[in-house]
Amino acid sequence: MNLNLLPKNLIVTNVVNTLKEDPEQGVVKLLEMAQSYTKSSEQRQMLDEVSRYYQGHAPAKMQIKNLVYNSSRKTLSALASSIIDGLSKTPFTFHSMQWTSIAKAESFKHQMSTFPLIDLKNLNEPSQEVLQKLKQTGTICFVTIDVRDENAHIVTGNDVILMLIKLGVRGIFYRMDVSDLSVENRLKDRIHHIRKTLPILAFYMKKDLPGGKSNVYEVIETIRNQNYKVRLEL
């Protein structure tokens, strides 16, 4: 069946229904759907690698179940639709994420098509309350954290990450405003460990044009000596 001949909203509805009924099978259907929208062999290979990783990693399956059970159908539909749109570009570009502060993040509980990327400075009580409210409304939210030598062990530690999971955060995008190769290498090792052991997405993102004012970032993954790039237009 050529999925491209079906209306996108029908495909998305079908995927979301499957996700809600059986999250693990829903992911398989989502990846199959995504393959039909890829524009290059690199994208198809990337999706194959994602599928293999998902099938063999229990934390990834736990993350998907957490995402599905705690997200509304509308936000899941928006996420699936964004994946379809992103795969129409090379490299894969995710453009439905908006950078925001914790003070403004609560406004996103009324938005179903834009996902907040919260610039998280701390996890004090007011910040926790905002994240909890977003979770209660089924909003898919992510956080970005600036990493430095003096805070790296804290922001990548289990205590902080487990708290973020409990508060409904779907993924962490670590960044470094000041480049430090030693810290960067340690951070990447820690991200790899987080993915293998905890039910949350973790990435290292870099500015597309270092030092510039562009709001375009890149996430570059190396799998089996092959680099894959995802752009974030924030």
Average pLDDT over residues 154-177: 95
- Residue 57, pLDDT score: 84
Mean pLDDT, all residues of the chain: 88
- Residue 202, pLDDT score: 94
pLDDT for 49-78, tens place per residue? 888 888 888 888 888 888 888 888 888 999
Q: Assign 4 a pLDDT band (cuts: 50, 70, 90).
A: low
- Residue 1, pLDDT score: 46
For residue 85, pLDDT over 80 is answered with: yes
More confident call, 192 vs 39: 192
Tokens of 147: 């990493």
Q: Assign 5 a pLDDT band (cuts: 50, 70, 90).
A: low
Q: What percent of the chain has pLDDT over 70?
A: 96
Tokens of 43: 């994208």
- Residue 117, pLDDT score: 97
- Residue 185, pLDDT score: 94
How far is it, in rounded angstroms, from Cα 164 to Cα 66? 12
Residue whose C-alpha is closest to residue 139's, from 85, 93, 79, 99:
79
pTM to 2 decimal places: 0.88
Residue with tokens 């929208």: 37
- Residue 108, pLDDT score: 93
How far is it, in rounded angstroms, from Cα 64 to Cα 54? 9
For residue 105, pLDDT over 80 is answered with: yes
Question: Domain extents for the chain?
Answer: 3-86, 92-233
Average pLDDT over residues 209-217: 77
| Helix, strand, coil shares, percent, the chain, to 5 | 55, 20, 25
Tokens of 131: 């994240």
